[in-house]
Copies of this chain bind each other. A is one copy, B any other.
C-alpha cells in the first residue's frame, strides 16, 4: 500500500491512496497524522482503497504532493550506518563516538518539505548539504518495548532528505546538546509505503535498497540501506526506553552509507569531503550553492521506485 498527501490548504493535507505505478490516486477522507493515530481501524479501509485504485483511481498530479506527513509531533533521527559515523568524525575533526548503542537526536518536526519544494537557506556559507536516508513511521509505541515489540509498530516506510548545515554541525556537536541550527527541516519523498510493498527490500528491519542520488544531474551515489548497524526496530526500542512514542513519530536511519563507499558513492557531500581528507589531506568538493539541485530515488530490484523521487533546488534567501 502506497500513501501520499495532497496539499489542500490545511496544515496536514489530504491523505490519498496511490496506485502501484504512481499514476492514480483515491482520496482517503482523512490525513495521515489522523490515520496513523487509529491505524488498526484505518488500515483495512486503506487496503480496500489500494485495491480499488488499481481499477478506478483519479489521475495523480505529483506536483500537488506535500510530504506524506507535512508535520508530525516527533522526528527522531538515528545515525545507524557505521561508515557514515566514521567518515563524519574525519569531516568534523571530532573524536570517535561510541557505537555500542544507537545514536539519535530529536529534530524539528513541525514542518517537512514536500518532494519538489525549493529549500530556503539563509546563507550559502553554512555548508549546505543533503543527507539521503530511510525512515519509519510508527503508531503509538508504549514506553519500554523490546525491539521485537517495536517492530509491530512500524506501519510505514519513507525516504528522507535530512538537510544539514555543516559549518554549524561540529560547533553544536561539541556542546553535547545535539543540533538546532545545523538541522533545518527535512524533505520527504512522495510515497509512504507499508513494509510489504518492498518485498525483499524490507529485510531484517532495514530498507535493503540502493538510494540513487544525483547532484546537479550527475551521479553522486547509490549506497544500500542494508548496512545499518542497528535495525529500525532497535532504533524504535531505543527511542521508547523512557518515553511513550506518539503515533506519527518518524524515526530516521541516518545517512545511508556503505563500507564500499569508494565504489558505490555516498549519500551526503560531507562523506565525500571526508574521503578527500583521508586521500589528499584536504576536502575539494564544495557544499551546495544557490540553484543547486539534488535528486534521490530508492530503486527496487525490479527497477520500480517505491517511494517516488525527491527532486529539489536550493534557494539562498540572503547574500552571504
Chain A residues at the B interface, C-beta cutoff of 8 Å = 71, 73-74, 76, 79, 94, 97-98, 101, 103-111, 120-122, 126, 143-144, 165, 168, 171, 173-182, 184-185, 238-239, 241-244, 246, 249, 317-318
Contact = CB atoms under 8 A, between A and B. Distances in A.
Contacts of A173: 176-177
B177 A122 contact: no
B238 A177 contact: no
A76 B111 contact: no
A95 to B, nearest CB: 9
Nearest to A241: B181
B106 A73 contact: no
Contacts of A317: 143-144
A147 to B, nearest CB: 15
A6 to B, nearest CB: 21
A249 B174 CA distance: 25
A177 B105 CA distance: 5
Contacts of A242: 121-122, 126, 165, 168, 181-182, 184
B243 A318 contact: no
Contacts of A318: 144
B175 A97 contact: yes
A103 B177 contact: yes
A186 to B, nearest CB: 11
Contacts of A184: 242-243
B175 A106 contact: no
Contact of A246 (B74, B103, B110, B175): B110
A106 B103 contact: no
A246 B241 CA distance: 28
Nearest to A74: B110
B175 A238 contact: no
A256 to B, nearest CB: 18
Contacts of A176: 94, 97, 173-176, 178
A175 B98 contact: yes
A106 B318 CA distance: 26
A93 to B, nearest CB: 12
A175 B254 CA distance: 14
A54 to B, nearest CB: 35
A74 B110 CA distance: 7
Contacts of A239: 180
Given A97-B175, A239-B180, A110 B73 contact: yes
A224 to B, nearest CB: 24
B106 A243 contact: no
